[in-house]
Structure 1
């Protein structure tokens, strides 16, 4: 099927539905590991296994999903925006490619970078709320709230717009380049694993899972130090300001805990990234094909 022309010509909202399914699949499959990542990044000691065991024993298994409401509530729009913006920008940055052909790798990288920067405006407040909820019962937050909406209202009331967007600068620095690498890796790997699939759109499920997983791992490794700084900046409240900004957070974190602090929790994050992004791309691609083909998926058998 002519996947890309059909994708770009569609205006019926099918991309939003498919993007929503992809995002939901990613959040549900990887949220416990994301909670563990946040705890590791904002702590000075303890292995992933130790923190996980303490969380489950002291706070119960449900603590692994604390704060999931915030990203889950916005995930449909967020992922729809990401995939739709990427589709438009990947062609806008290299208009020499025919609409009948998939975007060039140059267009993919530049389009992904632009997409990451734009989506930071939406995701920054959501991640701020999520981070504070995930740290709430770890004894690392002085203020508690029963849910994401209540916490967001409290932040708005006490800290205003600046408080809601705390960490926006480092979020843009994290998401811009990493999204460029993310989409480039996915497109490159799916073509390597299943030659010709970028044009036919008929790759196997295994190709989607592996290419999506590798895209997630690559992008996270490239931006992980920025994510550590983002977590620490967003965990701050007006009554507990320790870092004056991005550079100050880098310097103080390294001086106090060594360069290893910039990679703390990477192992957990990489495992989560492979699982989550394999699920996101698979759910997105399959949903889109179902919607475009009225329920008939045209994929080859799994490898």
Structure 2
């Protein structure tokens, strides 16, 4: 009995350690993703929310640079973006590892590494539900800060009455004061509707690409950083191609503080602006996605590898 108890204790310790490694690796991956992709993410949000204000990606980029500069313009919302991505990716990858374990236990697969790409995609689908709960409030603040000048321009007829700059904490306090805690979860249903199918294709595309790029005598974990970057870029590209209309709806709901259901907002956009408006900002998103998600997965995989080696050798 003593031996059985010791084995269970070791298993619990291993599960906690694995969860911690996934959490830390996902956090560092999220930080890397923000600094690589934030400028083009800002352009994406502006084009999604105010399509009539800009003639295209380059025009939006130049106007943002001219009016607000690099830090206040292109890197607007970086603090909440860091919080959002660290929160999302740490929870996402920790939940992904947990869901992989649950699926492997249900299917009686001894090692998580033996899960198929489809099974990993299903783990990503369920993991995204948990990450959505942490992502929604932080992404709400990020999107509002990124498009705050456009919101004020739409509300007021001239730039002379545009309000003074507001930071992430001030904006959070303002939302809590006016709407309460529920205000921070504006767009939650559209976030979940975007994230769960999106991360099915995200992890599915990543794992399928790793499988295709590995040599016959090689595991997916040993394909090297270059192929890992390619797999990450493929996963990110597939994610955005699938979820972009839902992301446009989410951005509109969050930035403009709409109370209308997501499906009604989508129908209104199609009826009033045409179906192409559901893809406003897709170009900067795809340009951003390739280096950003490639960096995310390389940071995640190699941080995880270093930490696993450290614990095994200590």
Asked whether the two chains share a fold, i.e. TM above 0.5, the reply is yes
Structure with the greater alpha carbon radius of gyration: 2
> 1:93 deviation in Å?
2.5
Partner of 1:234 in structure 2? 254
Pair 1:292–1:169, CA change in 2 (3 A): same
Aligned partners of 2:101 and 2:19: how far apart in 1? 20
Judge conservation of contact 1:97–1:104 (CA < 8 Å) in 2.
no
Residue of 9, 24, 27 corresponding to 1:20: 27
Pair 1:85–1:91, CA change in 2 (3 A): same
Q: Which moved more, 1:120-129 or 1:92-101?
A: 92-101
Partner of 1:73 in structure 2? 83
Partner of 2:237 in structure 1? 217
Partner of 1:103 in structure 2? 115
> 1:7 deviation in Å?
7.9
> 1:245 deviation in Å?
1.7
> 1:251 deviation in Å?
1.6
Q: How does 1:260-271 map to 2 (within 5 A)?
A: 260-271=276-287
How many aligned positions are there?
Answer: 287
Considering fraction of residues, name the structure with more helix.
Answer: 2
> 1:100 deviation in Å?
6.4
Structure 1 ranges of 4+ moved more than 6 A: none
2:140 is aligned with 1:131: no
> 1:277 deviation in Å?
0.6
> 1:71 deviation in Å?
2.4
Residue of 57, 64, 70 corresponding to 2:66: 57
Aligned partners of 2:201 and 2:145: how far apart in 1? 29
Q: How does 1:1-303 map to 2 (within 5 A)?
A: 10-11=17-18, 13-45=20-52, 46-62=55-71, 63-95=73-105, 96-99=108-111, 101-138=113-150, 139-140=153-154, 146-195=166-215, 199=219, 201-237=221-257, 241=258, 244-294=260-310
Pair 1:8–1:264, CA change in 2 (3 A): same
Cα offsets for 1:160-213 (capped at 9, x unmatched): 122111100000000001111111111110111123688462221111110000
Query: How does the TM-score come out when normalised to structure 2?
Result: 0.84
Judge conservation of contact 1:89–1:107 (CA < 8 Å) in 2.
no
> 1:70 deviation in Å?
0.8
> 1:20 deviation in Å?
1.6
Task: Name stretches of at least 5 consecutive residues in structure 2 with no aligned partner.
Answer: 1-12, 157-162
Pair 1:198–1:42, CA change in 2 (3 A): farther
Aligned partners of 2:218 and 2:93: how far apart in 1? 16
SS at match of 1:13: helix
Aligned partners of 1:109 and 1:190: how far apart in 2? 13
> 1:16 deviation in Å?
2.5
Pair 1:91–1:276, CA change in 2 (3 A): same
Judge conservation of contact 2:84–2:139 (CA < 8 Å) in 1.
no
